[in-house]
Each structure stands twice: as C-alpha cells, then as structure tokens.
Structure 1
C-alpha cells in the first residue's frame, strides 16, 4: 500500500504492522522446521533426504500448537514489557516536571497546543545527541532524550526534536518500529539457540552419524562395535538445508527494516515544523545531531527508533534513516528553512573550548586597578569610531 500523504501513511503503517505480525509466525515455523531437520539427523543419520524432509514436516505439524503459543507469548511479553527492556539497554529513567522543568514544559506546551495526549518523558545519561519514542498504545507512549542533547541544543531546537518524536507517535510509526523490533528479537533468539545446538554437535565420520561434542571421544571408541548406517550423505545435505533455512529466517527478519519506509523520517520532520512553525530550528537540530547520535552499547533495534541512526548496512541496503543532508534539503525546499551547513559544537575540539574559555576570562588588572595584558603593559586603545553628530533642535539647528 503506497502512502502519498499523512492519512494514507498512517493507514499503511497499520496494515504493515498486521502483516509483520503474521510474518513473525511464519518465520517461527521456518525455524521450527529447521530445528526438526537437525533433530531427525541426530536421532538417525542413515536415512535419505526425502525421509528427513517428510519426518521433519510431521514434526512441524506436531509442534505447530506449541510454536504458535510461544510466538504469541513473546508478543504478549513484548507488548507489556518492551519499554522495560529498552530502558534496561539504554538506562533511560522517567523524569518529572520538578526534575526537568525545561524539558517537561517544552513537551507539555507542544501537546497542549495541539491537543495531543502527554507521553511519558525519560532522560538517558549519555553524551550522544539523540532521542527516540516508544510505545504501542497511548498509555505506553514515551519520549526519551539524552543528556547530551539537552546540553547541546537550545530550547527551540529541543522543541523541534520533541515535535519530531510526537509526529512519530501521531503517525503510528512507533508501533510499526516496535513490532519490527519484536520480530528481529524473537527470530534472533531462536536462530542463535539452534546454532548453539548445532555447534555442540560433531560429525562422527567413522560411525556416519552426529553426536554431542562432549561425548564424541567415548562414541568414537565404541563406533567399531556399531554397524555403519551408510555414508551419511543425506544427513549432510539436510544439515545444509537446515542452516540455509535458519539464515533465510534471520535475513528476512533484517529485511523487515526495508518495509519501514524511510519517508517516515521526512514526514516526522515536516510534522515537527507544522507543530513548531520553525523550520530553521529543525534544521539546526539535525545539523548538531549529525554524526553525534551513536548511543554507546545500544542495539541496532534501539538505534532504529532514534532521530538519527548513523549506522548503515552493506552498500546502504539496510539503512533505516535517510541521510541528514537529504532531510535538510527537503526542509529547505519544502518548508523554506535555511541550512547553516555542518555545525561544530564546543566539545568537538579542545582548541575551541580553550579559545572560548580565554574569551570569557576577565581582564587582567594592574596594581592600581587599571586593565593590563598578562605581561603588565597597558592594552591597546580601541580605534576611534566615527564622530557622532551633535543633537539638533526641532528645526534642524544644532543645540
């Protein structure tokens, strides 16, 4: 479903969320089938490929209800506790008006002016410049900002960032992103689980079967007492198929990001300008955040929720955010903003910090209170300015 405007974009997000949830169950079944293939090889490594595939399909049917329950349980857990999981990763903490009056008032004013329900406000202790919104319903919505953002941006720029995140909430982008995080998390968890099981198994070339790595030595000593069950070529092919299915499920969970149209960031920037009526503030905020948004220790799933995600995949294939330059260009073209170009912050350079401190230092005084330079000589007199005209009377005559 193509999105050509705000309302079609919101409807498209809702449809994609339902499709992605359906895709989650499909990927779970693919992983269960791959696990059944590995299990059948471990049980009996002397069968043909067709026999393995048929028996694994029978196992999938038997495990279907349990896999469905496990996927549904994961969704329920993520629905109620996803914010706690994100806070555990980022260290975000809820704040009140008394703790952050400046930030709280800016967000409250935006919400009141547009009749938007007030989301929870959280602050993350990090020098990075970034912010993100989370939540699946109005009672869960929350906006998290970093302490670095609060220090580096002025009130107008912070208000623009808050407007950006509020627009994500209004447009339904937050729900879609959280669903994508749930899918990536569950597929990554089960995929890693199956790979750990697989790596704990070793191929017994003498007996033509698979055995636990911890017991491979004992099994090899008794392998001569067992009948060979064949070359084991079918088992190897089935293991390769299982690995390919696990990799396919993981790859599809990553490709889910491609379903998250990058236009959501352009729309959120435009929504911020619509809320604040200040395109220049949004542009300068993006320029300050540019290349300074990496959250230390944050997972890629969390970074995909942020105002800017500086991480990019191979050949920009998995990048979830358009570049800052393209977003600024759009604001200049369609909102009439002015681009100041890349901005340097005081903490970017020790020289800049030293120069600023030197400029703010009070003048050196001599023994009689007169201003002098550090070597004791009087400072140079300022250059004379243009002489002021004497005051004139009502008829133009000098008085």
Structure 2
C-alpha cells in the first residue's frame, strides 16, 4: 500500500500528465472534427448529384481538404489549449470558485467559531491557514480548493455551519485539509478546468454572448440552431465541443480514485483523534447534501465531501462504477472501526 508521500507524488505526476495530454487531445479532436466535416460534406454533395453514397469516392478529397485546413488550424488549437492548460495550472482554483454562485470569503470576525476551529486544526497539522469561504445554502457540504497548500481555500455551506457542532466541524476541516495536503485539490482543479473548456467553448458557439441567460435544454438548443442556421460553421463545432465535454465529464470519475475520500477520512481521524465526530458529520451531511448552486457543475461535485447532486442515478446504484465517492455507509463503518483503536489507546 502506498504511503502518504507516495500518494502526494503520484498526484503531482498525474497533474502534470493531464496538463500535457490536454493540448494533445485538443489537437486530435480538432483534426477528427475537421476530417468528419469534410467527409460528411463530401458524402452529401456526392449523393446529391448521383443519388448514391460512396465513401471511397470522397475519402481522398476529404483527406486532402482536411489536411490543407489543419495546416493552420492545428497550430492555433495547440496554442489556445496550451494557454488554457497554463491557466488551469496557475488559476484553476480561482476558476472553480468563480463558477460557483453565492461563494464569499469570510474573516475571523465574520465567522468567529468556524474560523477559530479551522485555525486550531491548521496549528495541529502544521499547515498554513487557508482562506475560508461560505456558500449561502442551507444544505450541508464542503470542498477545498488550492493549487498549493500555501494558497488554498475551504468552502463550507451555511447549513454546515448551523447544523454541525464544533467537534464535527473540526473533523470536516481536517478532512478538507487532508485533500489540500495530498494535492487532491490541484489534480481535481486541473481536471475540472480542462474538461470544462470544451463544454464552455461549445456553449459559446451555440449560444453566443447570451450563454449565461440561455435555456440549456435540448429543445432550446434545437430552436436556436434552426433560427440561426445561417452559420453552420459555428453550429457543427459547437455541438461537437458540447458533446465532447459532456461525454468526457462522467469518464473523468474513472481517472480520480475514490480512495482519496477514504484517505482523507483516515487523515482527519488521525488529526482530531475523534473519528466518530467525522462519522456523525458525514451522516448528517448525507441527509441533505444537495447544493443547488452545483446542480449545473457536476464535476465540482467530485470535490465535495459528499455528492451534492442528491440520489445516485440508476446505473450508479446498479454497478457503482459511476460513483465519485465511496458509499457513505462504508466510510462511517470504517471510521467507527478506527474509533475503537483510539479508545484502546486512551485506556492505556
């Protein structure tokens, strides 16, 4: 079993690998999109004149036309994706925070009890004090952001501050600090920022500047395409980018090990010496973990201490493969087992 230091180094390597793969995947996607466009266009033209489809007749011409366009398009895509990857590495945490509505930073005097609870845990583990943020939602959840432990933040919901006692709140803070210490926050911020690029670019091509106020239903998209089909060069890549982003997003869960939550639970139990407090906090959070501000940001839900989108989907319940978090029952059971070990230590 890997040690904590090996786990941290592995997360750092994964972050760099994902940053390198993002420009490569963007270039491959752009080439496939251009080639597919010319093949489709060639088949439609050929069928219009001959009333038959012949893939072999249009393949060579499509390949040549795609090659001519990609001579200038692929370097442009590579440069844009490299710039975005650099932004993800430098400002990934800020991009994640800006995408969640209702988050505000607080000081010691705004939330004295929560701030001092976090400060005590930081002193215990010897970590710099992260910025504390409050999400104005009465449900219970929390997540951490930060590309480096020296520049990190912890976001907690208003409901978490109201409905957890101080011991349980310290356990949640210890859990989130473990994610920061293990560089889980850097890895997840890079994954979320790079993946969201495709969906964002696709929505901008489909919706334009009205993206923020637009209805994102498929009916709305179809109507917009129908009435604005005078520019199919925007519609085609827009749909491809949106499809790529939305299909890729669930697959990201497979790249992020669910053991990160179990490791953070164990680290929090070791820090607070009170595993049962975290177990009780997890139980309360699981009863009302949905954060409405994260309904449209499913990838950010991966960062939360418990899934914020409510119940699992049918496939997730059937196979468990789509879950980004271990079942809360397993986490509580493991924490209760740890609690017995600490009790034995105290009795001695």
TM range (shorter): 0.7 to 0.9
- The equivalences for 1:207-222 within 5 A come to 213-214=229-230
How far the C-alpha of 1:189 sits from its partner, in A, is 2.7
Gaps of 5+ in 1: 203-211, 217-238, 339-399
User: Which residue is equivalent to 2:126?
Assistant: 115
Query: What secondary structure, in the 3-state scheme, does the structure 1 residue paired with 2:143 have?
Result: strand
Match of residue 96, structure 1, among 77, 86, 107:
107
How far the C-alpha of 1:121 sits from its partner, in A, is 0.7
Match of residue 158, structure 2, among 147, 166, 170:
147
User: Which residue is equivalent to 1:53?
Assistant: 63
- In structure 2, the CA distance between the partners of 1:59 and 1:53, relative to structure 1 (3 Å rule), is same
Distance in 2 of aligned mates of 1:201 and 1:120: 43
Asked if residue 32 in structure 1 is aligned to residue 18 in structure 2, the reply is no
User: Which residue is equivalent to 2:277?
Assistant: 281
Distance in 1 of aligned mates of 2:205 and 2:35: 11
How far the C-alpha of 1:34 sits from its partner, in A, is 3.6
Asked if residue 175 in structure 1 is aligned to residue 191 in structure 2, the reply is no
- In structure 2, the CA distance between the partners of 1:27 and 1:278, relative to structure 1 (3 Å rule), is same
Distance in 2 of aligned mates of 1:43 and 1:14: 44
Distance in 1 of aligned mates of 2:21 and 2:253: 13
- In structure 2, the CA distance between the partners of 1:215 and 1:253, relative to structure 1 (3 Å rule), is closer
Distance in 2 of aligned mates of 1:53 and 1:82: 41
Distance in 1 of aligned mates of 2:4 and 2:105: 30
**1:302-335 Cα distance to aligned partner (Å, 9 max, x none):** 2111110154453333221111101111112344
- In structure 2, the CA distance between the partners of 1:100 and 1:14, relative to structure 1 (3 Å rule), is same
Query: What secondary structure, in the 3-state scheme, does the structure 2 residue paired with 1:308 have?
Result: coil
Give the alignment's Cα RMSD to 1 decimal: 3.2
- The equivalences for 1:301-340 within 5 A come to 301-311=299-309, 312=312, 314-315=315-316, 316-336=320-340
Distance in 1 of aligned mates of 2:231 and 2:184: 50
- The equivalences for 1:65-84 within 5 A come to 65-78=75-88, 79-80=90-91, 82-83=93-94
Distance in 2 of aligned mates of 1:243 and 1:57: 22
How far the C-alpha of 1:279 sits from its partner, in A, is 0.7
Distance in 1 of aligned mates of 2:260 and 2:231: 53
User: Which residue is equivalent to 2:252?
Assistant: 256
User: Which residue is equivalent to 2:49?
Assistant: none
Query: What secondary structure, in the 3-state scheme, does the structure 1 residue paired with 2:287 have?
Result: coil
CA contact (8 A) 2:199 2:241 kept: no
CA contact (8 A) 1:279 1:336 kept: no
The TM-score with structure 2 as length reference comes to 0.76
> Which moved further from structure 2: 6-15 or 265-274?
6-15
How far the C-alpha of 1:51 sits from its partner, in A, is 2.5
How far the C-alpha of 1:74 sits from its partner, in A, is 1.8
Aligned length: 303
